[in-house]
Amino acid sequence: MFSLQHKNAVVTGGGSGIGKAIALLFARQGAHVSILDLSLEAAEQVSADIRAEGGSALAHQVDVSRQCGNSPRWQAS
């Protein structure tokens, strides 16, 4: 397939559906995955699933439709 070793991936909507599938795939290919989702609980579950498989992931609650009100780390500059 392809390698994402030593790469970082940011997946919006990573708590469910296609975003979740992408987050899991990227992690299996070696990426550290930051999972952004409206639902922190869903993002944390996917992050836990990735870590359980030996991968690296962090969960973040983010509304990408808003430029303000998100963590400063994810705000547009």
Please tell me the total count of domains within the chain: 1
Q: Give 12-63 pLDDT, tens digit per residue.
A: 999 999 999 999 999 999 999 999 999 999 999 999 999 999 999 999 999 8
Residue 1 inside a domain? The answer is no
Whether 3 and 15 have beta carbons less than 8 Å apart is answered as no
pTM: 0.86
- For residue 10, which amino acid is it? V
Task: Decide if 43 is inside a domain.
Answer: yes
Inside any domain, residue 77: no
Give the model's pLDDT for residue 20: 98
Q: What is the CATH number of the domain that holds 57?
A: 3.40.50.720
E strand or H helix that includes residue 60:
strand 56-61
> Per DSSP, what are the bridge partners of residue 57?
33
**CA pair distance 68, 26, nearest whole angstrom:** 28
Q: What domain range is 39 assigned to?
A: 8-66
Residue 75, pLDDT > 60, answer no
76 inside domain? no
Read off the tokens for 4: 């994402």
**Structure tokens that stand for 59 in this block:** 């969960």
Determine, yes or no, domain membership for 61. Answer: yes
